[in-house]
């Protein structure tokens, strides 16, 4: 039997936010490859399915294992949280293809999209991503702070709404402070800043703050931070960005 | 019975890409409000469900109708394609709340996220959104060309991958040409440019081009355009952006 590899996004957490296409790919797989806690979320639907759990940091190694299994004829699913194409496993798989066995380029590889964290986070608070926006990962084990700062400045100059992925971890407590500092130089103190923890799960929690008042201590690994653009505003308990710049009266 | 309003994202098109949470909200509704062709995609699951179809341009009017129905005690779903928070109906609903009857602020309003077009489009071609990226709508009936150009320049200066929503329509054939022109001044001619039409449907079609070769004629209303960053590259038939800037050797 010819092997295949599907990179699947399981969404932000709640089972009801995983697409039927992702569920079908998982049910069809002979082998699941992924970060342990993501695999634990997947219900066991067949007894003969092998689960290859790995550590959070080992993305490329995990991608190589998945490609080797597919090359050996297995039906492999690489399990990613959120959407696999956004700061997740799909890019690692194609990087492993580029650097690996040339035969891997002929493999049947497919990506199943999912609901990425910023969409679930935005839905928890209203529609803060209603205008043009950008997504930046603050994790500096993948790029230099210089690059991150350059992107934050560009985002501010373009008046984009900014979604910050991986804002903080125990190993990196300072990036978010620095990032908010960069944006503060460009935007008003009243600009809405939302700290959305565990968006799209039953434990979702929102802190609705402003650029003037917010401190990085409000974020951890499970938080997504959204910083408003000039038009982003509060209405009742919601925050939204008007689609049209002419409605920003 | 107390009314409610759920803004639902039905995903890019294929039923398998709509979340179970979105399906459940649709099945529970007494009233569906949305753009006609989006409503036509929704299977009829109950005979007593009213469908209020409207024109594509009438977003605010549609939002007001939905809020009035919810205020009258109906279980209303506003049907949006993709994710409702990204260039879609959620922002229109909160804008209508802000401008409308103060009593609307007390309504039970919820947003159900979905798979937005750029995620489905990226999945069709590999993982072009693997690094930091931004999303810009080229529709200039909602903002000035000056604002769009400012954002394109900022995106180029920040070396973001750029996803262009609403790149062209019969009424606006020239924006995409101008947008590609702005990006061409900053990026190499070999930069990958992807024209992905009807992503996430059975009719998906990809044109894999470069900034040097691409022309706006390749896009229409159903196309999403992704312009690579400096690290975005081709491997076999896929295009991806490495997560790490240090792997871009």
pLDDT of B46-74, one tens digit each? 889 999 998 777 899 999 999 999 999 99
Q: Which residues contact B124 (CB under 8 A, 6 or more apart)?
A: A111, B196, B199, B200, B204, B206
- In this predicted structure, the answer to whether residue B208 has a pLDDT above a threshold of 70 is yes
pLDDT at A249: 47
Most A CBs within 10 Å: which of B60, B113, B162, B244, as the mutation test of the A interface?
B113
β-pairing, B4-9 vs B108-112, is: parallel
| Contact between residue A109 and residue A5 where contact means Cβ atoms under 8 Å apart | yes
Instruction: Report which of residues A57 and B132 the model is more confident about.
Output: B132
Residue B246 pLDDT exceeds 80: no
CB pair distance less than 8 Å for A132 and B130: no
**Would you tell me which residues 47-106 of chain B have a C-beta closer than 8 angstroms to some C-beta of chain A?**
59, 83-87, 90-95, 97-98, 105-106
Q: Which residues contact A41 (CB under 8 A, 6 or more apart)?
A: A10, A13, A15
How far is the alpha carbon of B120 from chain A, nearest alpha carbon, in Å? Answer: 6
How far apart are alpha carbons A72 and A67 in whole angstroms?
9
Kindly state the percentage of chain B with pLDDT values over 70. 98
Question: Smallest Cβ distance to B95: which of A92, A106, A247?
Answer: A247
Mean pLDDT, rounded, for B7-35: 97
Distance from CA of A166 to the nearest CA of B (A): 12
Cβ of residue B136 closer than 8 Å to a chain A Cβ: yes
CA of B200: which chain A residue's CA is closest? Answer: A113
| Chain A residues in contact with B59 (beta carbon < 8 A) | 243
Average pLDDT over residues B225-235: 97
Residues of chain A with pLDDT under 70: 1, 247-249
Mean pLDDT of B226-239: 97
* Chain mean pLDDT for chain B: 94
Contact B91 A131 (CB under 8 A): yes
Q: What is the mean pLDDT of residues B100-123?
A: 97
Q: In this predicted structure, what is the pLDDT of residue B215?
A: 87
CB contact under 8 A, A160 and B147: no
**Distinct helix (H) and strand (E) counts, chain B:** 7, 13
Give yes or no for residue B169 having a pLDDT over 90: no
What is the pLDDT averaged over residues B102-124? 97
What is the complex's ipTM, to 2 decimals?
0.96
| Record: contact A11-B17, CB cut-off 8 A | no
Interface of A with B in 116-135 (CB under 8 A): 116, 119-120, 122-124, 126-135
């Amino acid at each position: 039997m010819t092997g295949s590899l599907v990179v699947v996004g399981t969404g932000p957490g709640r089972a009801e936010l995983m697409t039927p296409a992702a569920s079908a790919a998982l049910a069809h797989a002979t082998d699941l490859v992924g970060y342990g806690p993501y695999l634990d979320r997947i219900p066991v639907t067949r007894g003969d399915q092998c689960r290859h759990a790995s550590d959070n940091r080992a993305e490329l190694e995990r991608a190589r294992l998945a490609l080797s299994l597919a090359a050996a004829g297995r039906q492999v699913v690489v399990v990613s949280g959120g959407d696999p194409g956004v700061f997740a496993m799909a890019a690692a798989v194609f990087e492993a293809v580029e650097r690996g066995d040339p035969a891997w380029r002929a493999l049947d590889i497919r990506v199943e999209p999912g609901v990425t964290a910023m969409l679930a986070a935005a839905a928890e608070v209203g529609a803060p991503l209603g205008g043009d926006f950008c997504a930046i990962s603050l994790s500096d084990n993948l790029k230099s702070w210089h690059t991150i700062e350059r992107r934050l400045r560009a985002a501010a100059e373009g008046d984009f709404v900014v979604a910050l992925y991986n804002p903080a971890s125990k190993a990196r407590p300072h990036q978010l402070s620095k990032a908010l500092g960069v944006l503060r130089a460009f935007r008003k103190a009243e600009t809405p800043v939302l700290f959305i923890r565990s968006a799209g799960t039953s434990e979702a929690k929102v802190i609705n703050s402003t650029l003037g008042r917010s401190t990085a201590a409000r974020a951890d690994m499970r938080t997504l931070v959204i910083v408003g653009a000039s038009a982003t505003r509060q209405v009742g308990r919601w925050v939204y960005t008007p689609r049209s710049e002419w409605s920003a009266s």
